Amino acid sequence: MTTDATTRHLHNLATFLINYRYGIVSLFVVITIGMMFAMSSLKIETGFKKQLPLKHEYMQTFLQYEKEFGGANRVLVALVARNSDMFTPEFFDSFEKITNQVFFIPGVDRASVRSIFTPNVRFVEIVEDGFAGGNVIPSDFQPTPEMFERVRSNIVKSGEVGRLVSGDFAGAMVWANLLEEDPQTGVKLDYRQVAAELEAIRTEYENDDYSVHIIGFAKIVGDISDGAKSVVWFFLAAFIVTAILLYLYSRSIWLTVLPLTCSSIAVIWQMGTLALMGYSLDPMNILTPFLIFAIGVSHGVQKISAWTVEKEFGGRTPDAWARDGVTDVSSIPRRSAMHGSRETMKKLLAPGIIALLSDTIGFLTLLFINIRIIQELAITASIGVAVIIVTNLLLLPVLLSWVNLHNPHAYRERLLKKAQEISGFWLFLTNSTEPRRAMAAVTVAVILFIIGFWLAQGMQIGDSEVGVPELRPEARYNQDAVLISEKFSLGVDLLTVVAETVPDACTENYEVMESIDRFAWNLRNVEGVQQVVTLPMVAKVVNAGWNEGNIRWRILPRDNYVMRQALGGIETDTGLLNRDCSAMPILVFTEDHRAETIARVVSRVKELREEMSIGTLEYHMDHEVLEEMVTGEEDVTTEALKFRLATGNVGVMAATNEDVAAAEKPMLALVFASIIILCLITYRSVRGTICIVLPLVLVSTLAEALMAIYGIGLKVNTLPVVALGIGIGVDYGIYMYNRLDDLLKQGHSLREAFYRTLRLTGRAVIFTGFTLAAGVGTWMFSDLQFQVDMGFLLAFIFLANMVGAIILLPALVRLLIYPKHKARKAKELEAGAEA
């Protein structure tokens, strides 16, 4: 397609849109109203599984055993006395009420509720002829000192110190498991309602004497949803900041209102489309509407600039008129608003689409990462960008065709006057093209790159903060998690290795049990492991119990009968075995969830399963039931024991870390490869492509260095940021290079060309940089840690790319392109002279 043909098509399209503008706008109004309806059904919800790399080997284990060992969905409510111990009438009164309230929360599996007040918590003591036991709180309980002493001793005997009761007797806990689905009605559990009821318990019982601490997945969901609710305020803040910036830029109410309107319509369409496609909006992806809004505004700015020039200055920039010595505005032609709109569309539709395509490419590379939430982010953002093509590249110019500026004469005079002033700021920036300055800029960039690259090596994978990484470290939830793990000897970081074996192995196969036990002990000896809990370990303690509590009998019995006796009382709800005992989780509690701790444990697990492979095992059936099935005694050979990674929150992190780390470099390579190809196609110049891409490389390296410095780990939430940032950041380079290249080709000197580029495009680029940074920067005040991290990084990437485009890019052009350009020019002159 030739340029002429393209121009003709664009002209026809633009003319068509403007001629039928009433119909077009009505259509937009109708669609927007429809989208608003659709949007109202869009749910903001988070799903635990969406954040998991479900194709990862570990997650297969996770999914397989999720139901059987689902004890992870537990809620813990702790009441802690601030200045005394728990043995006061008030404490017991409050704690009993809390236990009852937790019991009646809808969704709580009532049989699973455990506290010192529930009948399923008993103490056992060994007496001469066996065991004796009872409820921890006696039925004749009265709040007397003697009774408190009895309860204290019962608690010790029950073995719940450090579990249901804190080690220092300052507090006690209620445990409850939640049922994801109501067994009777099949209704799905409303996590947010559970969270609200838990919070109500806190409000009721927390006072000057007692504090209430709540942890559990339901509470996390509640807190994240609460945090996400503040999205409205952030959006409002971003909107206002953008409006102010836009007004300062355009100095016109209409030119402020229209881009904002079109960008808002883009967001409405985006969310409506999501709802129509059956998606919900995850709190993590709430950032994308902001991005879309900001991208919309930045394209809108290009439109209103171009439109102003076309309508009020006859298609030449005020700067150009000023250079030609025109001082009187009345000598500059004015055109109709419709003409301005048509010309704007014709000139900006193609570059606009190319810029938006490059954004989309950045987003779409994220689809290659096998984590659902990142893919949703890619889809959400791509939809938004597609919508912007319609709203801001088409609708905005159409709307502008109605606009007549208030007091246009003054407006034009002001712009022309401004163009006549020689601005020190722009001149200063123009100096970037001086050879010496260019050299200096590039040298600084190289030094920054080296430092950044070196620092970026320290970027960690995953998260290292205490508690839940989605929330801020100082969030109440994370504070509660810290307190509970300190007061109660309860690990919050858990990696579970599932030992898979033959059915009934736990009672019928000593070798399997011994191997699991030895495996667990080896893991216990890995640095960073706090505690390991396994069925064999419990069996040993129970076996000692059957031997009068004698510690010398804390062994795994070789005798199957004795083993059955030892394991008889251990239910599957302990999470230590499944129904037929063919799977036994090895619960590895780690001291923290730093990536290196996780990696150390995981690599030791991999070593151990090589070492401990007992291969096939002659499995001797002598279980009664099996004996009936198999006549006589047969030896069944089967693969005896497999240790499978991994479930538990740390298991999930292990899988995520591995996938995220593996995805990062290919993702960046893909983003850069697509940008390079796009630039090569557009400009057919290797050097030009280098000028555009090198600043991006520097910025992405600096972003990684920043992550290392601020301890922001590479994780599900931050992985997409670089792709997004680069995808959008390349726009600046493209706009700048585009204009600069044009002006150079028109025969201007580099200095002149760059000055002109700055005055038109540079202004818009700087404005865009700030608009985008403001749009995402509001997130730094979010309650949710991942939003803080994303907002911070994106704001940095946008601003840094902006600086790169107006300082480093021209310097690179000076060093790489201009010499060649000059040589060619000289040659052309020579040729011209000869002719």
Partner 1 sequence: MSKCSPASSHRRHCARVDVGKIRTSRVAAMFGAMALFFAIAVDAWAETGLDVEYSELQPLAEKSVLLDVARIGDRMVAVGERGHVIFSDNGTDWKQAEHVPTRSTLTAVFALGDRLWAGGHDAVIITSGDRGKTWSRQFFEPDRQQAVMDILFTDQDHGVAIGSYGLVLSTMDGGKTWTDETVDPENDYHLNSMVRFDDGRRMIAGEAGYSYRSFDDGETWEPLDLPYLGSMWGAVITPGDCVLFYGLRGHVMESCDFGMSWQELETGSLSSLAGGIYSDDLLVLVGNSGTVLVREDRNISEHLHSDGVDFAAIIPIEDGRFLLVGEEGVHFYPETVAEESGQ
> Which residues neighbour 30 within 8 Å (Cβ) at sequence distance 6 or greater?
none
| 8-state DSSP, 594 | -
**Are the CB atoms for 707 and 713 separated by under 8 Å?**
yes
Chain centroid offset of residue 550 CA = 52
b/e burial code for range 35-58 (CB count within 10 A of at least 16 → b):
beebbeebeebbeeebbbbbebeb
**Are the CB atoms for 784 and 234 separated by under 8 Å?**
no
Considering the complex, what minimum distance in angstroms separates the CB of residue 798 from partner 1? 49
Considering the complex, what minimum distance in angstroms separates the CB of residue 630 from partner 1? 15
For residues 67 and 552, which CB has a smaller minimum distance to partner 1 in the complex?
A: 552
DSSP bridge partners of 621: none
Considering the complex, what minimum distance in angstroms separates the CB of residue 557 from partner 1? 8
Q: In angstroms, rounded to a whole number, what is the distance separating the alpha carbons of residues 464 and 448?
A: 27
Considering the complex, what minimum distance in angstroms separates the CB of residue 617 from partner 1? 7
Burial of residue 169 (CB within 10 Å: 0-12, 13-18, 19+) is middle
For residues 226 and 596, which CB has a smaller minimum distance to partner 1 in the complex?
A: 596
**Are the CB atoms for 807 and 434 separated by under 8 Å?**
no
Q: In angstroms, rounded to a whole number, what is the distance separating the alpha carbons of residues 302 and 298?
A: 7
DSSP track, 183-248: TTT-PBP-HHHHHHHHHHHHHHH-SSSEEEEEEEHHHHHHHHHHHHHTHHHHHHHHHHHHHHHHHH
**Are the CB atoms for 467 and 478 separated by under 8 Å?**
yes
Considering the complex, what minimum distance in angstroms separates the CB of residue 539 from partner 1? 13
Considering the complex, what minimum distance in angstroms separates the CB of residue 511 from partner 1? 6
For residues 60 and 613, which CB has a smaller minimum distance to partner 1 in the complex?
A: 613
Sheet (strand 171-178) strand order: 108-114, 171-178, 74-81, 210-216
Question: Would residue 504 be called left, alpha or beta, if left means φ above 0 and alpha means ψ between -120 and 50 degrees?
Answer: left
Helices 287-312 and 231-250, axial angle in degrees (round to 10): 20
Considering the complex, what minimum distance in angstroms separates the CB of residue 582 from partner 1? 18
Considering the complex, what minimum distance in angstroms separates the CB of residue 619 from partner 1? 9
Q: In angstroms, rounded to a whole number, what is the distance separating the alpha carbons of residues 434 and 440?
A: 10
- Tokens representing 626? 């099996």
Considering the complex, what minimum distance in angstroms separates the CB of residue 654 from partner 1? 22
Considering the complex, what minimum distance in angstroms separates the CB of residue 148 from partner 1? 18
Q: In angstroms, rounded to a whole number, what is the distance separating the alpha carbons of residues 415 and 760?
A: 12
Considering the complex, what minimum distance in angstroms separates the CB of residue 533 from partner 1? 15
| 8-state DSSP, 778 | G
Residues that bind partner 1 (CB under 8 A): 125-128, 156, 510-511, 518, 521-522, 524-525, 546-555, 557-562, 611-612, 614, 617-618, 620, 622
For residues 147 and 555, which CB has a smaller minimum distance to partner 1 in the complex?
A: 555
b/e burial code for range 368-402 (CB count within 10 A of at least 16 → b):
ebbbbbbbbbbbbbbbbbebbbebbbbbbbbbbbe
DSSP track, 398-426: HHHTT---SSHHHHHHHHHHHHHS--HHH
Considering the complex, what minimum distance in angstroms separates the CB of residue 440 from partner 1? 55
For residues 466 and 614, which CB has a smaller minimum distance to partner 1 in the complex?
A: 614
Chain centroid offset of residue 479 CA = 21
> Which residues neighbour 80 within 8 Å (Cβ) at sequence distance 6 or greater?
166, 170, 171, 210, 211, 212, 213, 483, 487
- Positive or negative, the CA dihedral 732, 738, 739, 743 is positive
Considering the complex, what minimum distance in angstroms separates the CB of residue 551 from partner 1? 5
- The helix/strand/coil state of 735 is helix
For residues 524 and 751, which CB has a smaller minimum distance to partner 1 in the complex?
A: 524
- Tokens representing 105? 């929360």
For residues 336 and 550, which CB has a smaller minimum distance to partner 1 in the complex?
A: 550
Considering the complex, what minimum distance in angstroms separates the CB of residue 595 from partner 1? 22
End-to-end CA distance of the chain: 33
For residues 247 and 510, which CB has a smaller minimum distance to partner 1 in the complex?
A: 510
- Positive or negative, the CA dihedral 563, 568, 569, 575 is positive
For residues 324 and 618, which CB has a smaller minimum distance to partner 1 in the complex?
A: 618
Tokens 């010595």 correspond to 325
Considering the complex, what minimum distance in angstroms separates the CB of residue 677 from partner 1? 52
For residues 149 and 573, which CB has a smaller minimum distance to partner 1 in the complex?
A: 149
Q: Please provide residue 321's backbone torsions phi and psi, each rounded to the nearest 5 degrees.
A: -60, -45
Considering the complex, what minimum distance in angstroms separates the CB of residue 561 from partner 1? 4
**Are the CB atoms for 118 and 57 separated by under 8 Å?**
no
For residues 591 and 618, which CB has a smaller minimum distance to partner 1 in the complex?
A: 618
For residues 412 and 540, which CB has a smaller minimum distance to partner 1 in the complex?
A: 540
Considering the complex, what minimum distance in angstroms separates the CB of residue 635 from partner 1? 9
Considering the complex, what minimum distance in angstroms separates the CB of residue 122 from partner 1? 17
CB atoms within 10 A of CB 28: 19
- Tokens representing 112? 């699973």
For residues 514 and 752, which CB has a smaller minimum distance to partner 1 in the complex?
A: 514
For residues 334 and 518, which CB has a smaller minimum distance to partner 1 in the complex?
A: 518
For residues 44 and 612, which CB has a smaller minimum distance to partner 1 in the complex?
A: 612
CB atoms within 10 A of CB 458: 12
For residues 327 and 550, which CB has a smaller minimum distance to partner 1 in the complex?
A: 550
- The helix/strand/coil state of 113 is strand
For residues 182 and 611, which CB has a smaller minimum distance to partner 1 in the complex?
A: 611
For residues 126 and 676, which CB has a smaller minimum distance to partner 1 in the complex?
A: 126
- Positive or negative, the CA dihedral 179, 184, 189, 193 is negative
